[in-house]
Amino acid sequence: MDENLRVVHDGAVLVEGDRIVAVDKADRLKSEAKADSIIDARDCFVLPGLICGHTHLYGIALRGSGMRVEPPSDFLQILQRVWWPLDERLENDAAYASALAACMEMALTGTTCFADTYSAPNGIDGSLDAIARAVNEVGLRGMISFEATERRSREEGVRGLRENERFLSVSPVGRVMGMVSIHASFTVTDDLVGKGVEIAERFGCPITIHVSEGPNDVYHNIERYGMRTVERLERLGLLSPRAVLAHCVHLTSREISIIARTGASVAHNPMSNMLNAVGVAPVPEMLRSGVNVCLGNDGYVFDAFENIRAAFLVHKVHRRDPTIISAREVLEMATNRAARSYGLKDLGSLAAGKLADVVVVRPRVMAAPYSGDPYSYVINGLRGSDVKAVMVGGELIVREGRLLKVDQREAESRVLRSIQTLWERLGEGPHHAVEPLRGGV
């Protein structure tokens, strides 16, 4: 996935310290350098570490939850009935536990770096420290932020930005860096957006915001400001090469042109968009217009290969066009395009001088030679469970499907205790049988 999109058959990656020294034919590298240790990757794909362009690590805490809610009928009700009650009960112990669980799952399935936004209006202070501790325990890279919002009060939004600013002043913490996060244009004022842009410019860091995920975002801006979401964000100075706009499902061609002109990136979250039934983002049009698009999971499914495959398929069926997006384009969204979104110049590809974030993957059954179209094989034939080894900065963190830096069973015990407590704060105990929700499940 380098700038020339080379595919090296019978190749090898030579690593020294935390950097890649060379990528070439294995025989040639063996004759030029004697390695202290060798990871046998025969019959495997060797890829740059996958990068998740947008996630909410704490979303894993809802997995299997039996929350008693009226069935939401649209995206705003999903926020009001599911996500906001959850984040209002989050404390730093749950921030740490959910981050630990999500990081373990991402590491085991080939993601080496991610961009996370965390929301906990009653647990703001120190929350990013708790998340950073979990990320570093597993050994991943992360760009983390607190999601500033004024949905309850203006003071709360300012406190959220202050947590970002505080963490930025001490980061990087291990392999964790800070950034700025604003929830969405329909929960913040112009003043808060301006403050967030100023912090991002001062620290030279990325700024991310949810954009037109559901139609309510568009309606809010038209009714209150007389313009669509992207137009308002451009007026406020948020759009720039350091901006990453999550979702962008409901865009016009004019808005796509604005994003392309300003150099902002878009984080596409196909599986979450399907779950929330908000629609299909116009990714093919964005790519054709020169918009840099990366791939995220939005805190839903943390296996990058599932998200890659979903992005490859959903646009084909939505447009009834099997040629609308290629395997290579989608794999770029999870590698070099994701790195470009966040200004991570040392990540996203296997090339001399880059940081040694490397994933080794072998399909359980080799059903065809790799000499045909390797991009197609990766997209259509690999799963997260096929990951054999994961290296971050020259350090192995996964070998033969096993985490090396944390005791998985002991970590799971800590996670389960914390998440059970969170569920109890949500008014739930352990359920052996779940009653049907009124109106059906």
Rounded Cα distance, 45 and 135, in Å: 26
pLDDT 10s digits, 92-142: 999 999 999 999 999 999 999 999 999 999 999 999 999 999 999 999 999
Is residue 380 within 8 Å of residue 368, measured between CB atoms?
A: no
CATH class of 11-46+351-396: mainly beta
Which helix (H) or strand (E) segment holds residue 132: the answer is helix 127-138
The pTM of the full predicted model, rounded to 2 decimals, is 0.94
Our CA dihedral for 159, 162, 167, 169, rounded to 10 degrees, sits at: -170
pLDDT at 314 exceeding the cut of 50: yes
Rounded Cα distance, 411 and 417, in Å: 10
pLDDT 10s digits, 228-252: 999 999 999 999 999 999 999 999 9
Rounded Cα distance, 375 and 258, in Å: 31
Distances (CA, A) of 42 to 39, 95, 362, 405: 9, 39, 9, 25
Give me the pLDDT at residue 372, please: 84
Is residue 335 within 8 Å of residue 325, measured between CB atoms?
A: no
Domain 50-341 belongs in CATH node 3.40.50.300: no
pLDDT 10s digits, 402-432: 999 999 999 999 999 999 999 888 875 433 3
Is residue 41 within 8 Å of residue 27, measured between CB atoms?
A: no
pLDDT 10s digits, 53-93: 999 999 999 998 766 778 888 899 999 988 898 999 999 99
What is the average per-residue pLDDT within 194-211?
98
Return the domain boundaries, the chain. 11-46+351-396, 50-341
| pLDDT confidence tier of residue 198, bands split at 50, 70 and 90 | very high
Rounded Cα distance, 406 and 397, in Å: 9
Average pLDDT, the chain: 94
Do the bridges between strand 176-178 and strand 141-148 make them parallel or antiparallel, or are there none, so unpaired? Answer: parallel
Distances (CA, A) of 189 to 183, 196, 219, 221, 247: 11, 11, 15, 11, 20
